[in-house]
Amino acid sequence: MTEIAFHFNAPDKLAYACRLLRKAVSSGARVVVTGDAAALQALDTMLWTFSPLEFLAHCRAGSPAEQLQASPVVLAAHIDGGPELPHHHVLLNLGQDVVPGYERFERTIEVVTLDEEDRQKARQRWKHYADRGYSITRHDLNLKETSA
């Protein structure tokens, strides 16, 4: 069964996603990131520039098969009914809705900001997972910052 984790209180969803992806890739994980087109475009740019000494290899779903296989991070607007993905390790959802097809992944991570509308949508996603019997792990980023 897919492991579900919510990361709450991210001050900036995309900046947090960059740090999370850096950590995941350094640990050997392969990640598919989904969200709306604007968020994926902004993340694509940030992955090139968020750290002056680092670059996180990534590509978009629909890229040539060799590129997909070599990239630890794949940006995909849709994971169900879209291009075939090279792996199903970790799904990072930057969108507002439950991603159709999330259950094919070993792990799904939801990032939630301080914005009230984003938090309301996250509650709906949490309820969706809980109603289906998923065990959910909660990571409160505010608590981590104050204890660091």
Q: What is the tens place of the pLDDT at every residue in 32-81?
A: 999 999 999 999 999 988 887 778 899 999 999 999 999 999 999 989 87
| % of the chain with per-residue pLDDT over 90 | 82
Model pTM score: 0.93
Separation between Cα atoms, residue 72 and residue 125, nearest integer Å: 26
Amino acid identity of residue 18, one-letter, is: C
For residue 112, is pLDDT > 60?
Answer: yes
| % of the chain with per-residue pLDDT over 70 | 95
Q: 143 falls in which pLDDT band (50, 70, 90)?
A: low
Question: Which pLDDT does position 21 carry in this prediction?
Answer: 97
| Contact partners, residue 42, CB within 8 Å, separation at least 6 | 14
Question: Which pLDDT does position 83 carry in this prediction?
Answer: 73
Tokens encoding 23: 């950590």
Question: Which pLDDT does position 145 carry in this prediction?
Answer: 53
Fold of 3-139: Rossmann fold (3.40.50)
Question: Which pLDDT does position 110 carry in this prediction?
Answer: 98
Separation between Cα atoms, residue 56 and residue 73, nearest integer Å: 8
Separation between Cα atoms, residue 106 and residue 51, nearest integer Å: 28
- Would you list the domain boundaries of the chain? 3-139
